Amino acid sequence: MIERLRMMIRRLPIKWKLMFGATALIFLIFVTYNFAQYVVLKQWMLKQEKDQIQVNMIQLEDYFHEKLNRTETLQISDSRSYLEKIIGKNQLIRILDKDGTSLLTVSNHFDENWVSRKPTSSQELTDITHQEEHILIYRSPLITADFVGTIELASNLETFDHFSETILWVMVVGGVLAIFISGLGGLAIARQFMRPIRTLASTIQSVKENGLKERVVQIENGDELSSLAKLFNELMDQLEVSFRQQKQFVEDASHELRTPITILEGHLSLLDRWGKSDPVVLDESLSASLQEIRRLRGIVQELLTLTRAESQFSYENREPTQLEPIIHETLKRLELLHPDFVFEVNLEKIKDVFIMINPLHVEQILLIVLDNAVKYTTEDKRVLIEGTTGKNEVEITIADHGVGIPKEDVAHVFDRFYRVDKARSRELAGTGLGLSIAKRLVNNYQGEITVSSQEKVGTKVSVKFPIL
């Protein structure tokens, strides 16, 4: 049965779980507080009744001791008029001799048969129940030179019980109202809590049906749900950008691969028709086909490099690397390939700087940037390489005096397959993937790469890495 109830609770919607949980919590707090209040109040009232009956007993003892010690001929029965004056409602006063015989009984709305006669040699306070009556009895010995007996003072706690019962009923009714009010409160809390969740669920459904452009309406609560909605919107922004980039990448890759494939198909068709018997056509077509195959291989190789850079990054080959020697070694290779270029180097400030990186990646980043600097410089063939350090980072800048990049194209130079002058870039055998690879590699090492350029003045590339 308990397991079945637990399973039913588990299957309830979150809104009802929250409502029942809030209701149970509020009700338990209310019941605990009221019960404690009822017990404390009842004990306090009972103590007040006991204190009052003790005060009355002291008055009676003082009276009888004074009268019996002062008047030897005083009879107990002569005290009736006094007792009738001081007795309260629902009380009994009874004087017993040493054998338990009643000498004097005075009562007010109290049946003396409710209390049995009992002589005592010491004070005693008892709490009894006779049928439906709740009675408090106080017995005290009355001893003088000429008299030995007992004073019995009994009080019917009818008013006390009635008041306690009234308080109990008020608390029970209050408990029922508390369940109802706490249920409404719990439902209101659950609805308030579930509103942003429903909004989020609705948005996810809209994304499923309408695409990635849907967003959650901003929830200005300043709580965790607001942060969740904001995080969801940021995630959707990233996903939309990623899907858009993937789509652009597929389109660009298809375009880049289609051109050499079309050229290859054309030359192979030409060979099939006339090249078998014409050596000139054969040589020309084979030369063009080999060139396009080399171009295809270059594109595929750079695509693989970019894919590796964008996939899960490995830190296995990272090591403390000194930048200055790697930069000098890379420049020596370029000087051999491009003897007509002058490479101006200023690396004094980073002579002793180490960074945690794979040395091959440093070389690859430098070759990509320097190759672009050489490729797009036709007149003033000077390239400046400078190193500086900041508080926690090292910066390498490579500046050329080439054709520059138009202002509107600077923001896109790191996009895959993006080329500023596509016709000219094709002549220079560019694929538009180099800077994308460099940016991904730099980002993998928590670095930053930026480009600033001005047409017909030159381009400056800045690469920053955290210092080890």
Structural domains of the chain sorted by starting position, each given as residue range(s) with its CATH number in brackets? 11-165 (3.30.450.20), 225-310 (1.10.287.130), 319-466 (3.30.565.10)
Give the largest CA-CA distance in the chain. Answer: 167
d(CA 42, CA 385) in angstroms, rounded, equals 92
**Residue 221 amino acid letter:** N
Question: What b/e sequence results for 175-211 when a residue is b if at least 16 CB atoms lie within 10 Å of its CB, and e otherwise?
Answer: eeebbeebbeebbebbeeebebeeebeebeeebeeee
Which pair of structure tokens corresponds to residue 328? 């000098």
d(CA 397, CA 345) in angstroms, rounded, equals 10
DSSP H or E stretch at residue 313:
none
Q: Count CB-CB contacts under 10 A for residue 89.
A: 11
pLDDT of residue 223: 63
Which pair of structure tokens corresponds to residue 54? 């003790």
Instruction: Indicate the pairing of strand 382-389 with strand 342-346.
Output: parallel
In three-state secondary structure terms, 223 is coil
pLDDT of residue 161: 84
Q: Which of 393, 327, 318 is nearest to 366 (CA)?
A: 327
pLDDT of residue 425: 46
Cα–Cα distance list, 413 to 243, 259, 368, 452, 459 (Å) = 19, 22, 13, 10, 12
d(CA 93, CA 83) in angstroms, rounded, equals 8
Q: Which of 188, 164, 138, 180 is nearest to 44 (CA)?
A: 164
pLDDT in single tens digits along all 468 residues of the chain: 677 766 766 666 666 777 777 777 777 888 888 888 888 888 898 898 889 889 889 888 888 887 766 655 456 777 888 888 888 888 999 999 888 888 889 999 888 888 899 898 889 999 888 888 889 999 999 887 778 889 999 999 888 888 888 888 888 888 788 778 877 877 777 777 777 777 777 777 777 777 767 776 666 666 666 777 778 778 878 887 777 767 766 766 676 677 678 777 887 787 777 766 777 777 777 777 787 787 777 777 766 766 666 554 555 568 899 999 999 988 888 888 888 999 999 999 998 899 998 888 888 899 889 988 988 888 888 999 999 998 889 999 999 998 888 888 888 888 777 766 543 444 455 567 778 888 888 988 889 999 999 888 899 999 999 998
Residue ranges of alpha helices (H) inside 138-157 are: none
**Which class for 233: exposed (0-12), middle (13-18), buried (19 or more C-beta within 10 A)?**
middle
- Rounded to 10 degrees, the C-alpha dihedral 319/320/323/329 comes to -50
Instruction: Please enumerate, as own/partner, the contacts of 187-195 that have beta carbons within 8 Å and a separation of 24 or more.
Output: 187/15, 187/19, 189/18, 189/19, 189/22, 190/14, 190/15, 190/16, 190/18, 190/19, 190/22, 191/15, 193/18, 193/225, 194/14, 194/15, 194/18
Q: What is the CA radius of gyration of the chain?
A: 51
pLDDT of residue 423: 39
d(CA 195, CA 199) in angstroms, rounded, equals 6
pLDDT of residue 154: 92
pLDDT of residue 138: 92
